[in-house]
Amino acid sequence: MKRKQTDTAVPKNISFRQILRFFLFSPILFLCISYQAAQAAVVEHSGIIAADTTWSAVDVHLITGTVTVNAGVTLTIEPGTVVKFNPYRELDINGSLLAQGNASEPIIFTSYRDDTVGGDTNGDGLSYGQPGDWYRIYFSDTVNETFSSFEYVTVRFGGGSNNACIYTYRTDITISSSTISDSSSSGIYIYGGSPTLDSNIITNNAGHGLYLEHWQGGSPTISNNTISNNGQC
């Protein structure tokens, strides 16, 4: 019996150029091309920042060695920027950190294994961050609080080697509208000084959500924070 030609057969009057045009403009192929074009570059950082510097939201920033911002120097991080840390790495601030995200474009500090933001940075296939994957963000007593901001920031999967995700040492830095979570130790550790913590979410940390030490003589301002589901009170 002779087979009927189905609707899927290509009529003879369709040219190769028309077929090519169809595939070039098909939605699936267009999405693939757009996705590849949208992949962010990975910029690696290590060592001392000795001059004012801006980290752009266009790139994913990977801290491969501990980064130290010198006294008198400002590191500016644009809203929506993703910063990832390799194991045993931290960001030390002796100068100023201007990390001011917003509700729709938070700044994210996370693990090198966290593929939920910034893509597969380490090229190992789909993976997720784990508590303790990196160390901490450290604010020293030489921080210039006047020119620093830490607002609408997400910090997660730090706390390695019993470090808190954020450690402030005798400084008056303000941390507001931010989320600190999934530390293998404490969420925020305050040693002296008069920092301000306002409207933050501090949750799912293995140690204390917030730990204060030697704050006598200082006047920490702690208000409107949600501190819950941490390993210790």
pLDDT digits (tens, 9 = 90+) for 4-62: 333 334 344 545 455 445 444 444 333 333 333 345 799 999 999 999 999 999 999 99
Name the pTM for this structure.
0.83
> Residues of 210-219 as b/e, b for ≥16 C-beta within 10 angstroms?
bbbeeeeebe
pLDDT digits (tens, 9 = 90+) for 1-16: 333 333 334 344 545 4
Q: Would you list the DSSP string of 167-181?
A: EEES---EEES-EEE
Distance separating alpha carbons of residues 188 and 190, to the nearest angstrom: 7
